[in-house]
Structure formats: C-alpha cells, structure tokens
Amino acid sequence: MSRDPIVTKFGRRAVLGFLMFGVADVALAGAPAVSLRPVRKPADAVKRSVKGVTSLVADANLGGKVSFVVADARSGAVLESYNPLAAQPPASVTKALTTLFALDRLGAGKRFKTQLLATGPIQNGVLAGDLVLKGGGDPTLSTDDLFEMAGRLKAAGVTSVKGKLRVYGGMSVIDQIDRDQPEHVGYNPAVAGLNLNFNRVYLEWKRSSGGYSVTMDARSNKIRPGVGFAKTTVAARSLPIFKYSGAGGRDNWSVANKALGKGGGRWLPVRRPEIYAGDVLQTVARSHGIKLPFPVKASGAPRGTVLVEHVSQDLRVVARDMLRFSTNLTAEVLGLQASGAGSLKASARAMSQWLGDTYGMRKAKFVDHSGLGDASQISAQEMVKALVGAGANSQLRSILKSIPVRDGDNKVVQNSATKVVAKTGTLNFVSALAGYIRTPDGRDLAFAIFMADVPRRRALKKSERESPRGSRSWNGRAKRLQSELINRWAVLHGA
C-alpha cells in the first residue's frame, strides 16, 4: 500500500528564514561567536582611530630629522615625544625666546626714543649749531615717523641749519645678520641703534625703449621719498643678479638686466642705516620747507637741547608685531638691547646663558636673536621647558600669533574648538613650530616641533638660498605634518 507524500506549506518569511539559517550554518559551521546585535563602541574609540606618529612622519617624506615634544603646559608632564633630545635649528621660533629675554631684561613697558637735538641756539629760523638725529634703538621707526618729526621741527622754529646734520645710533653697526645669506635679501639687513623701515630700501624698475629706469625710495603708507645714499645701476649680464659695493660710504648696487623683465620692484637691505635715516630726514624736511645738509655720522655721543622726540609703542606691542610678522631686524635689536653686548654672537651667548639660568636650558646654543643663522641649535625638550616655565597664562602666550587648525584635507577649520597660538620658523629645508594648544575640553598643552634636512640645506650654494628647487613642496609637507600632529594631540591629550 502506497502512502501519499506529505505536503507542507511554508510562508514566505519562513522560507527566507530557513534559507538564511542554512547559509549561516554552512558559513559558520556552528553558533556565532559574536553577537549579531549592534555593539556600542568603546569610550576611547576616537583616540584609537588616530594615526600613529611613525606613520605620520613616514608619510611626510621629509628626510633629515623630525623631533617633537608635547607636554601639559601647567605641570610640565611630557605626554608624547619623538627624538626629543635632537639638536635642531629653530629658525624664527628663536624669536619667542628672544621675547622672553627682552621682557625680562627690559620690561614690557619699555619704549624707545628717537630725538632731534640742537647743539646751538635758533635765531630767525636758523639753527646756529648742528642738528642731530639720535637713535635710541627703536626697531620700528618709519618714514612716516620722520615726516611727523620734521613737521614738529618746523613748529619748533627751525627752517635751516647752519652747522651739520649728524646722525648717531649709540652702538656699533652690524652690517648684516647672517653672512651665509644672499647679499641682496631684504630680511638680512644691517642692525644699529638708529634704524628705519626695518633697514630696507625699495628698488623699482621699469622698462622703456631706451632700456630701464631705476629708482630707490623709502616708501611708507603715505609717501615715497627718494634716497641719495643708495644707488642702483643696470649691468649687461645674466648672473649674479645683484652685486653690492660699499664704496664711498654709501650703498651701491648693480642688477643684471637679464633678470629684470618688463618691470617690478623689491626691498633691498640697507648697510648704512644711520646715513639712510638721515638721508630720508633731509628729504622729508624739505617738504616742510626746512633745508638740511646731507647727513654725516657723529663721532661720539652728542649733547644738546631736545627739540623733537618720537616715542615707540611699548615693548609688549613691539614684540607682538615682531612675532606676528617675524621681522628679523626687530628681534636682533631687542636681543642686543636686552644683553647690552656689542656683537650678535656675544649677545646670543648672553641670551643662551640667561635661558640656562632661568629655565634650565643648558644645551641650547644661539648665534643670533632672529633664528636666521642656522648654526643655532635647540632640542624640542628644551623648547618645551621654556614654554612651560614661562607659564600657561604668560605674557608670551598672550602675544603669540593664532595658528589656524586644519582638517584632514588641509583646509582651515572655521571656529575650531581647538585653539593654537605659536611661533613659526622657516628656512630652506627647515620648519619649526612651538607654542600652546588649548584642547576642546580646556586642557592647556605646550609643544615644540622641529624638522630639518640639514645635509640638503648645507649642500645649497649661497646663490640658491633665496628660493632653492624643492623647498616649497618640502615646506608644504612639513606644515601638513605639523597640522596632523596638533590634531592628534588635541584628540589624545584632552583632559
């Protein structure tokens, strides 16, 4: 007797469930080891996702050496480091240390005075003696300031000078900051006690049918007085682009015609800063109806009646602007004023000693106050010592430049909860950044990042140092690595 087959009807959901069970059973060959329900992420999942330091450094592909330290800005406890003891050139990060030195030695309220002195009486508008332009170390004196001083000189009753126009800075002139720089770069000027326009003069050229017309001036925001102490001629050559001569006690430049193109302009360094300031005073005084002779240097400290006095902003403001715009001249003047030394090397040694005594930085060595000379050396560990020692709420922190925070695509994050203030430093194949971070949850960090490919830098010829091949892309990668490290620390080391 045969039996009819048993037919069972399954719903659609049951069939699907059966099929899924069969697939899972084949794939897993047993019960699941992990729950099929969603699992809550661990509390430190974001921190775990942060890319490691070794990978970040490798991806930057900088060559040379990378070093950094990040610490709690209040306790000084080191949170993370990488080659912390490596001695690296700090570049313009040096200016942050110069600021600490100057604030300590000179005081935040220090102001610099520039004076016009009369060595004789004024009779019917004629100054019977000499007129003296006396510097007091102001690194920020401008053409506009001299124009205003000339107007006040006229108000004091002077229309001409029977004697000489003398200029006096009160210190020996240092003709350039770093001798390894190309001689024509405006960021490597002379340093003196009487400085004008950061000791730079503007060269402008225009091409015409007869060749090139060339002018040199001491331009400011308002006026463009020509200068007589500096001259430029156009020479029929390709290289070198610029040549300098100090013949006749003046600044004499020649420029290669093959490099000029249709027209343009650039700032050149001044090597005779006292004469430069006197030259510009003579020109702007003429616009006020005052006739002055061409300036000569005073052989000694002049005495006389103060007719006009210009007073700078206080040191805190001067230093703030120096940190913001990274003006080398300002840094060197502040350091020299703070040390009282007669040379940059002696002054830098005095600052190194002060840093050792104040913050325990016994191995840091400096050759100047601006960081332009690459023979200066400091480790990230010692830089952070100074930042922690200065204090999380120090005067330095309050005047450091705000640094934008960037995302993973290197775009600026608007209204970022992470706040960074720091000093940047850039030389060819050298990049540095040091300062303070406030994390989104309010923790204060102090950090220093130094990156340098010293062998590649030292292989450059002097003529290549203004803009060597590969330096721009190298610097871009260095800046990106700095940004990635800051983002890492904000995540990992928040309170």
Can you give the pLDDT at residue 210? 82
Which helix (H) or strand (E) segment holds residue 448: the answer is: strand 444-452
| pLDDT classification of 334: cutoffs 50, 70, 90 | very high
Q: Is the pLDDT of residue 227 over 80?
A: yes
- The three state secondary structure string of 141-178 is CCHHHHHHHHHHHHHCCCCEECCCEEEECCCCCECCCC
Can you give the pLDDT at residue 51? 87
| pLDDT classification of 116: cutoffs 50, 70, 90 | very high
Q: Kindly provide the residue ranges of all beta strands, DSSP E only, lying in 241-397, ordered along the sequence.
A: 242-245, 251-256, 263-269, 296-297, 305-311
pLDDT tens per residue, range 48-77: 568 899 999 999 999 999 999 999 999 999
Looking at per-residue pLDDT, the higher value among 467 and 303 belongs to 303
Inter-residue contact 463 to 485 (CB < 8 Å) = no
pLDDT tens per residue, range 131-151: 999 999 999 999 999 999 999
Q: Beta strand 296-297 with 165-168: parallel, antiparallel or unpaired?
A: parallel
CA quadruple 390, 393, 394, 397: dihedral positive or negative?
A: positive
| pLDDT classification of 20: cutoffs 50, 70, 90 | very low
| pLDDT classification of 78: cutoffs 50, 70, 90 | very high
Quote the percentage of the chain above a pLDDT of 70. 90
Can you give the pLDDT at residue 37? 60
Can you give the pLDDT at residue 494? 81
Can you give the pLDDT at residue 1? 43
Architecture label for domain 49-108+314-492: 3-Layer(aba) Sandwich (3.40)
Q: Is the pLDDT of residue 45 over 80?
A: no
Predicted TM-score of the model (pTM): 0.89
Can you give the pLDDT at residue 35? 52
Q: Beta strand 131-134 with 165-168: parallel, antiparallel or unpaired?
A: parallel
Can you give the pLDDT at residue 466? 83
Can you give the pLDDT at residue 445? 97
Can you give the pLDDT at residue 400? 98
What distance in Å separates the CA atoms of residue 434 and residue 443, rounded to the nearest whole number? 17
pLDDT tens per residue, range 157-171: 999 999 999 999 999
Average pLDDT, the chain: 91
Q: Is the pLDDT of residue 39 over 70?
A: no
| pLDDT classification of 6: cutoffs 50, 70, 90 | very low
Can you give the pLDDT at residue 25? 38
Instruction: Give the CATH superfamily of 112-312.
Output: D-Ala-D-Ala carboxypeptidase C, peptidase S13 (3.50.80.20)
Q: Is the pLDDT of residue 254 over 50?
A: yes
Q: Where are the domains of the chain?
A: 49-108+314-492, 112-312
Q: Is the pLDDT of residue 399 over 50?
A: yes
Can you give the pLDDT at residue 36? 55
Can you give the pLDDT at residue 15? 37
What are the tokens at 445? 């960090």
Can you give the pLDDT at residue 18? 35
Indicate left, alpha or beta for 29 from its phi (over 0: left) and psi (-120 to 50: alpha): left
Q: Is the pLDDT of residue 189 over 80?
A: yes
Q: Is the pLDDT of residue 118 over 50?
A: yes
pLDDT tens per residue, range 257-284: 999 999 999 999 999 999 999 999 999 9
Can you give the pLDDT at residue 384? 98
